Structure 1
């Protein structure tokens, strides 16, 4: 059988070079890559655009933004999932790790509902073939949360579970190492100064009570499994040492340069937030991802909360860190695929999945002009 889909007239971004040639797809796989143009009349003329692998997003809570487009306006869950999926696909993200918060620290009780309903919607819509991107499950385990264990265990054997991260959003650690910023967060929620201090004391006590127990629950349950483990918002050398000792091999969004570099020295791989790059800094005042990139301390980007940020951050990396285009694209394709153990995607090579994105660079901005997953156009 001949190729069912052929691309020509553009630059194909391989893992080590660009090829000005043509690419053929048969069924769901890449069948051939040629250095010359195709003469088939039905070939898709890329008109000088790039053809890159489909993006792989290891961490996105973009669904939460669709569920709560306004603080007091909750959107129907299934509709929110469809909108979230469409935003990922049009951004070129063909593999999505939906990152659900498991455990409540008393701030956003609605997140638990988003988690439970979101997984159900993911399962139903995926089984019906109605999602444009492939959706996998990423459980973000809030270690100090009293309800974490009860929420985590029913999903620990889920067929789509591909990543588990250990996080701690208590005051004075991780993302909230600056306690005054944490106080500001509470004040914005309308708490009085007395209520703020009471809340801080409660959070610290809760952490002492539950963190170690919940950490062992997760580590014990995941021991010996292929599911990838990550840490979240590492701040100190002690954070990295603890995680490395427990066999965790991914540091997700380290919040200091010291933590990121220590992770690399321990053989861990690091994920940086793409919005941090696009915005020019962290939204919570932590280390700049651009600085991490220049220091060689970034292995992959994740969208965090803006799917379109991934590709833009990758293109910006060619300037920020003087990376070649293949090196930059690998930050959102090949590297996250390898980190997650997905050997069938992330690169353009014969036999791999035909997850492909057509991109035009316009005044330095990447514009997605077409997306194919398993050889079928989805955006």
Structure 2
């Protein structure tokens, strides 16, 4: 299969030409357009590597689209998969949380169903993206380690993140933001919120450090890459480095991001942060880190299309020095390399033909086609 008349975004350049794919692998890249009628005409659109998503909570929205509403699992999975491939994501680590039971038990109730459906839908070959697992370990809970021990045995698990959302910690160093977020999310009164704050502080003191160290040991035994989450201080970062973590998810301060980058942790920020121009939690803006040269990876987090949008937005942003090839790496090659997925992430001879054809209309990027392992999937 050949695709021609395309602007190919390579690792360090953009060329107009033709790409040839055989058996799901890129076999040649030529800087000329092919007149063969059997070629797919890209009509001058961008050809990018398929995007790689490391942290999305999108899956559970389809399994429980409204409070107390459960959706048939394979229908939920199909809808989730369709949204991701339509957003240009060809490899996704679906993030599922363990240890967090505050939502009336919702996450825990659907955990097995979501994971089993992901595994079975991949086995059946019905997914258009490749779906892998990211286990989010909410550290301040008695159940977290036991659940981690159970789920980390699955071969689909490619990443683990260590989280503590208790007040005064990491994402919620600012206690006002903590109250604003959780009162808005759960509709708690002031007294209920104060009781919830006390409960969460106690749980963190009892379980967080113990669970962190035990789960890190488990991950090292099984060779699973790990990420910190919402590091706020240099001491947080240095602890993450000492524990052998490879990613720093959503650092909340410039100091934490800079120190993570210096120590070799890949700094991951939310693509919605880029699109919206800042953090919804009042933390550091992703464009600030891009301007400082310490932004390594983007994640769509809660809005899948934001990943593609953010790539073009950063490439157009005069406040940083990112050109389009380097902006694209934030959502392709860098996340692939962080997890050791070296067979994908760039348009290069010998790599997997995970590709997306993208057209921009009045500044908005649209995915026109997507291929995974050289097969048209969108």
Question: TM-score normalised by the shorter chain: which range applies?
Answer: over 0.9
Q: Secondary structure at the match of 2:136?
A: strand
Work out whether 1:325 is the aligned partner of 2:324. yes
2:313 corresponds in structure 1 to 316
Q: Which runs of 5+ in 1 are unaligned?
A: none
From 79, 88, 96, give the equivalent of 1:92. Answer: 88
- Matched-pair contact (CA < 8 Å) for 1:359–1:369: yes
Q: Secondary structure at the match of 1:211?
A: helix
Measure, in 2, the Cα distance between the counterparts of 1:137 and 1:295. 31
- Matched-pair contact (CA < 8 Å) for 2:101–2:108: no
Provide the aligned C-alpha RMSD in A.
1.4
Measure, in 1, the Cα distance between the counterparts of 2:113 and 2:192. 32
Aligned length: 375
Residues 1-379 of structure 1: matches in 2 within 5 Å? 5-104=1-100, 106-107=102-103, 109-188=105-184, 189-320=186-317, 321-379=320-378
Measure, in 1, the Cα distance between the counterparts of 2:65 and 2:253. 31
1:140-178, Cα deviation, whole Å (9 max, x unpaired): 101112211121111111111110111111011121222
1:296-328, Cα deviation, whole Å (9 max, x unpaired): 121010110111111110111112223111111
- Matched-pair contact (CA < 8 Å) for 2:158–2:339: yes
What is the CA-CA distance between 1:224 and the residue it aligns to? 4.3
Measure, in 1, the Cα distance between the counterparts of 2:308 and 2:100. 32
Measure, in 2, the Cα distance between the counterparts of 1:364 and 1:6. 28
- Matched-pair contact (CA < 8 Å) for 2:101–2:107: no
- Matched-pair contact (CA < 8 Å) for 1:31–1:351: yes
Shift in alpha-carbon separation, 1:119–1:7, aligned structure 2, 3 A? same
Q: Secondary structure at the match of 1:217?
A: helix
TM (normalized to structure 1)? 0.96
Measure, in 2, the Cα distance between the counterparts of 1:32 and 1:163. 32
TM (normalized to structure 2)? 0.96
1:196-220, Cα deviation, whole Å (9 max, x unpaired): 2222111111111111111122111
Shift in alpha-carbon separation, 1:192–1:306, aligned structure 2, 3 A? closer
- Matched-pair contact (CA < 8 Å) for 1:357–1:368: yes
